[in-house]
Amino acid sequence: MQLTNRQIFQYHLATPSNVSSPIEIVKAKGIYIYSDSGQQYIDLVSGVSVSNVGHLHPKVVKAIKDQLGKYMHLMVYGKYIQSPQVQLTYKLVINLPEKLNSVYFVNSGSEAVEGALKLAKRITGRTGIISFNNAYHGSTHGALSVLGNEEMKNAYRPLLPDISFFNFNDNKVIDNITQSTACIIMEPIQTEAGIILPNLEWLQLIRKRCDETGTMLIFDEVQLGFGRSGKLFAYENFDVIPDILCLAKAMGSGMPLGAFISSSDNMDKLTHNPALGHITTFGGHPVSCAAALA
């Protein structure tokens, strides 16, 4: 029996929620997506903060096709020099401050968060983590641990230990950043929690307290990055530079790509004791990097 796409979706595709009558998409271009019934939709959801340059932007499509004529996956991450990867790295670092001069590519936002948390532990030798109520940072175990919504994570305990949660913009967090705190992870503007702007002074106090205690300030710009806050990166709105920056979503213009970025001194920690401190097979895929570069 020949099943329709709708039937396969319904009976055989595992999804994280019950979608009662999903639309079937046959094509997407610019701000539009088109269903099998010929209906045109304006894609206001934008793939959840991914399609910042629209669907199938001609420059992105050309870059992908050009790269496909050369090579796709060659080797696990970081062993060969691959032009799309290094050129994208350079493009990023010349648009970032000096202390964010080393880019580690991964495949997704959750992986960028995982890498950032691990890196903060290695740099500081500490375990304490601070996060915020209502924050969303991804669905893997580490990212879930720093997610500020008890209902979403309770069924998956035990999660990472030694994490405390505070309300966004609440001064209580400042005194709780101590010499046992490895990192504080936050979106400089909370997104999933409802587009909550930071109080500027509060954000600057967090930066100051992190400097005083040697705590890593991690900015999750997975949703905010690449122009969504009006600047290329959201931290530019506040003049507060993080120690580690997480990117993904719109970075690959529709291709899967993420990154965590810090200083080369910090990143060096991942190369020894133990070696191979963070590994990815597909991170920084050359086709995704070519799309991102375009």
What is the crossing angle of helices 83-93 and 286-293, to 10°? Answer: 40
Give the Cβ contact number of residue 11 at 10 Å: 8
Q: Is 252 in the site for ligand PLP (CB under 6 A)?
A: no
Closest to ligand PLP by CB, 34 vs 165, is 165
Peptide bond into 274 cis (omega under 30): yes
Kindly tell me which residue out of 89, 131, 181, 191 binds ligand PLP, with binding defined by CB under 6 A: 191
Q: Which is nearer to ligand PLP, 29 or 118 (CB)?
A: 118
* Nearest Cα residue to 89 out of 114, 81, 30: 81
User: Interaction with ligand PLP in 112-131: which residues (CB under 6 A)?
Assistant: 113
Question: Where on the phi/psi map is residue 19: left (φ > 0), alpha (ψ -120 to 50), or beta?
Answer: beta
Among 110, 181, 253, 266, binds ligand PLP (CB under 6 A): 110
Residue with tokens 């983590």: 129
Among the listed ranges 71-79, 166-174, 197-205, 215-223, the one in contact with ligand PLP (CB under 6 A) is 215-223
Q: Which of 187, 253, 262, 269 binds ligand PLP (CB under 6 A)?
A: 187
Asked if 188 is part of the footprint of ligand PLP (rule: CB under 6 A), the reply reads no
Tokens of 29: 């271009």
Distance, in Å, from the CA atom of 239 to the CA atom of 35, rounded to the nearest integer, reads 43
Q: Which one among 137, 269, 278, 285 touches ligand PLP, defined by CB under 6 A? A: 137
Q: Which two tokens stand for residue 253?
A: 């213009």
Decide: is 270 part of the binding site for ligand PLP (CB under 6 A). Answer: no
Residue 109 is a binding residue for ligand PLP (CB under 6 A) = yes
- Of 31, 36, 23, 63, the closest CA to residue 255 belongs to 63
C-alpha to C-alpha distance for 172 and 163, rounded to whole angstroms: 15
Query: Which residue bears the tokens 């997506």?
Result: 33
Residue nearest ligand PLP (C-beta atom): 109
125 DSSP β-pair partners:
none
- Choose which of 192, 199, 236, 263 interacts with ligand PLP (CB under 6 A): 192
Selected from 223, 229, 262, 266, the binder of ligand PLP by CB under 6 A is 223
284: closest CA among 115, 56, 54, 46? 115
Q: Which stretch binds ligand PLP (CB under 6 A): 147-155, 174-182, 220-228, 282-290?
A: 220-228
Name the site residues for ligand PLP (rule: CB under 6 A): 48, 108-110, 113, 136-138, 187, 191-192, 220, 222-223, 248
